[in-house]
Amino acid sequence: MRISDRDFLTDIPAADDLKEKLVSYRKQGEIVDGWLKIRLEKVLPMVMKREGIDTWVVCNHEHNEDPVFRTLSPWGMLSARRLTILVFHLNENGTVSRYSLTHPVPDIGSYYTAAWLNPKGQAWGHDRNLPKNVNGVKVSEVPETQMECLGRFVHELHPTRIGLDYSTVTAYGDGLSYSLYQEIMKVLPEEDRAKVVSAAPLCVGWLETRIDEELDAYSGIVQIAHALIKEAFSSRVVHPGVTTQDDVRFWMMQKSVDMGLSPWFEYDCEITREGLGELSGEHVILPGDLLHCDIGFRYLGLCTDTQEMAYVLKNDETDAPKELKDAMAATNRLQEITLNEFAAGRTGNEILASARARAEAQGLEPCIYCHPLGFDGHAAGPTIGLWDMQGGVPGEGDYVMHDHTCYSLELNAAVPLWGQKVPFSMETDVMLRDGKKYYMAGRQTQFHLIG
């Protein structure tokens, strides 16, 4: 939906109702694999051309996978096989040819053309009458190891710039192990070694860019998070005087697992109590308590990250106190200010600085720590502040924001509450799509009320 104050709390179904809409593991695989084919055909050529890398090598061992590997492989391929090498080459016509240099792996057969065709020392390659080429790929006249094949194959592509996944800035571009880097550099001809560059910007671009089909589904995924929190912050789960905040936290974790969702961090639920502040340890929830939760799960390969607030009504109350409403309104205003600064072409640090300046000019005390959202919860892309780095984030804060990307709008405003300044934290998920900004499945503008 577009930027607005739409009240999503009254019109979303319960988590139990949404559970019936979730598709099976098998169906999820069919959907995600369909998206992968579109991404490989649309996103990859665009990003390779934008970043000026015409040949990209993704090389990883089983159980030590490159972060980008699982997003380049089909649903059923849960890990690399032994040593798995993928090679991508940007053709003059703008398409990308995709190759696998690995043992025969049926999972990737419909996505990649096999290029290691005359293996040395491998039983599966013995006693064959080898043709000169298979599916347009030249077959070596002599048996080759995987690395020998890689060196020859890349050279015959006549690359201009060869991208390898190493980076001092982002883990998402640093998935190539040191030993494999050494092996690759050893087998590349000297003239090709001089063409090797970091593929980190390519890795980030590939990971952060969402196709229309993913964006169409994303709001529904985030709606599940809102529904789960709505149910958790209700009398169905919370019995004041009996239920603890850990009871709520683990209820949300268990509910997620029961629904077929995969939590990507351990959920949190906190109590703030008048006169005592935020309570440490496990405590029974009481009337007058302010509850805060933080949850995030993965579904259809995409992650959510959401923080919302609830108030436990006292016996003589029908609504949250005005000072709590004012606190939420202040944080909502900070959300609006920050999201309005989001724009393609700006760095995370630029967005952070301008949002903070605007917020302070309006009398707010902001702490902004937004982050990209996608295949991971803390995903690849421009970081927009960290809670302990409000002056800018070197490296990842210098990445430029692009269209067709998603973010978790995570922040807090220090507000007067119960005689002291309290950081009032909220988090909702947003997208940039075709130059416009949207709250995915709305945002919280009023408390969940428990009573």
The 3 state secondary structure assigned to 38-96 is HHHHHHHHHHHHHHCCCEEEEEEECCECCCCHHHHCCCCCCCCCCEEEEEEEECCCCCE
Taking only the tens place, the pLDDT of each residue in 110-146 is 899 999 999 998 877 755 677 888 888 888 989 999 9
pLDDT digits (tens, 9 = 90+) for 55-93: 999 999 999 999 999 999 999 998 999 999 999 999 999
DSSP 3-state assignment of 408? strand
pTM confidence score: 0.93
- Helix/strand/coil percentages in the chain, nearest 5: 35, 25, 40
Length of the chain counted residue by residue? 451
The pLDDT assigned to 242 comes to 98
What's the average pLDDT block by block, 10 residues per block, for the chain (451 residues)? 45 69 90 97 98 98 96 94 96 97 87 93 71 85 94 97 97 98 98 98 98 97 96 96 98 96 97 93 97 98 98 96 96 98 98 98 98 98 97 97 98 93 95 96 95 89
pLDDT for res 126: 59
- Our CA dihedral for 358, 362, 366, 372, rounded to 10 degrees, sits at -40
Q: What is the DSSP string of 268-313?
A: EEEEEETTTEEPPS--B--TT-EEEEEE-EEETTEE--EEEEEEE-
Going by their DSSP bridges, the two strands 133-134 and 137-138 should be labelled as antiparallel
CA dist., res. 61 & res. 174, Å (int):
14
**Tokens 């005689």 identify what position?**
419
The whole-angstrom separation of Cα 297 and Cα 306 is: 9
What would the two tokens of residue 432 be? 């940039």
pLDDT at 5: 44
Dist. CA 295–CA 284, nearest whole Å: 20
| Cα–Cα distance measured from residue 24 to residue 46, given in angstroms and rounded to the nearest whole number | 32
Give residue 263's pLDDT.
97
Assigned token pair, 146: 């995987």
Q: Which residues contact 204 (CB under 8 A, 6 or more apart)?
A: 170, 172, 173, 380, 381, 399
- Residue 294 half-sphere exposure, CB side, CA atoms within 13 Å? 15
Q: For residue 188, what pLDDT is reported?
A: 98
Cα–Cα distances in angstroms (integers) from residue 21 to residues 13, 14, 24, 236, in the given order? 11, 12, 10, 21
Q: State the Cα–Cα distance between residues 32 and 38, nearest whole angstrom.
A: 10
Q: Across-strand partners of 232? A: none
Sequence letter at residue 22: L
By the 8 A CB rule, do 396 and 383 touch? yes
Distance CA 234, CA 256 (A): 16
pLDDT value of position 16: 72
